[in-house]
Amino acid sequence: MTSTTGTACPHCGWPDGADPFQVVSRHTTAKGHTVWTRCGCGSLQIRIVDHCGMRIISRSAPPTPPRLSPATR
Protein backbone atom coordinates (compact mmCIF):
# COMPACT_ATOMS: atom_id res chain seq x y z
CA MET A 1 0.00 0.00 0.00
CA THR A 2 1.22 3.48 -0.74
CA SER A 3 0.63 6.01 2.00
CA THR A 4 -0.57 9.48 1.11
CA THR A 5 0.29 10.74 4.60
CA GLY A 6 4.04 10.14 4.52
CA THR A 7 4.18 9.64 8.29
CA ALA A 8 4.98 6.89 10.74
CA CYS A 9 3.35 5.37 13.78
CA PRO A 10 3.83 7.85 16.64
CA HIS A 11 4.13 4.96 19.11
CA CYS A 12 6.87 2.87 17.47
CA GLY A 13 7.99 4.61 14.27
CA TRP A 14 6.76 1.92 11.83
CA PRO A 15 6.34 3.72 8.46
CA ASP A 16 2.72 4.20 7.38
CA GLY A 17 3.70 3.23 3.82
CA ALA A 18 5.07 -0.15 4.90
CA ASP A 19 2.96 -3.28 4.92
CA PRO A 20 0.92 -3.51 8.12
CA PHE A 21 1.98 -6.01 10.74
CA GLN A 22 -1.49 -7.65 10.67
CA VAL A 23 -4.65 -7.08 8.63
CA VAL A 24 -7.57 -7.47 11.02
CA SER A 25 -10.38 -6.99 8.49
CA ARG A 26 -11.00 -5.56 5.03
CA HIS A 27 -14.29 -4.10 3.77
CA THR A 28 -15.24 -2.94 0.28
CA THR A 29 -17.00 0.42 0.14
CA ALA A 30 -18.52 2.39 -2.73
CA LYS A 31 -15.31 4.39 -3.07
CA GLY A 32 -12.64 1.78 -2.30
CA HIS A 33 -11.70 -0.25 0.77
CA THR A 34 -11.60 0.24 4.52
CA VAL A 35 -8.84 -1.84 6.08
CA TRP A 36 -8.44 -2.34 9.83
CA THR A 37 -4.82 -3.18 10.63
CA ARG A 38 -2.65 -3.68 13.67
CA CYS A 39 0.83 -2.14 13.85
CA GLY A 40 3.79 -4.09 15.23
CA CYS A 41 3.40 -2.20 18.52
CA GLY A 42 -0.27 -3.22 18.79
CA SER A 43 -1.85 0.08 17.70
CA LEU A 44 -5.13 -0.50 15.82
CA GLN A 45 -5.36 1.55 12.61
CA ILE A 46 -8.14 2.33 10.15
CA ARG A 47 -6.81 2.69 6.59
CA ILE A 48 -8.78 4.01 3.64
CA VAL A 49 -7.61 2.75 0.24
CA ASP A 50 -9.10 4.48 -2.80
CA HIS A 51 -8.12 6.16 -6.07
CA CYS A 52 -6.00 8.67 -4.09
CA GLY A 53 -3.88 5.94 -2.46
CA MET A 54 -3.80 4.84 1.17
CA ARG A 55 -4.23 7.01 4.24
CA ILE A 56 -4.63 6.24 7.91
CA ILE A 57 -7.65 8.06 9.25
CA SER A 58 -7.50 6.84 12.85
CA ARG A 59 -5.18 4.93 15.16
CA SER A 60 -5.30 3.87 18.78
CA ALA A 61 -2.59 3.73 21.37
CA PRO A 62 -0.92 0.35 21.83
CA PRO A 63 -2.54 -1.87 24.44
CA THR A 64 -1.18 -1.56 27.94
CA PRO A 65 -0.09 -4.68 29.79
CA PRO A 66 -2.58 -5.84 32.41
CA ARG A 67 -1.81 -4.74 35.96
CA LEU A 68 -1.22 -7.50 38.43
CA SER A 69 -2.87 -7.30 41.79
CA PRO A 70 -0.57 -7.55 44.82
CA ALA A 71 -1.99 -11.02 45.54
CA THR A 72 -0.81 -12.38 42.16
CA ARG A 73 2.72 -10.96 42.21
pTM, two decimals, is 0.72
User: What per-residue confidence (pLDDT) applies to 48?
Assistant: 94
Q: Provide the pairing of β-strand 44-50 with 53-59.
A: antiparallel
Q: Which residues contact 38 (CB under 8 A, 6 or more apart)?
A: 20, 21, 22, 24, 44, 45
pLDDT digits (tens, 9 = 90+) for 50-73: 999 999 999 999 988 766 666 655
pLDDT tens string 6-49: 588 999 998 888 887 899 999 999 999 999 999 989 999 999 99
Share in percent of the chain as helix, strand, coil (round to 5): 5, 45, 50
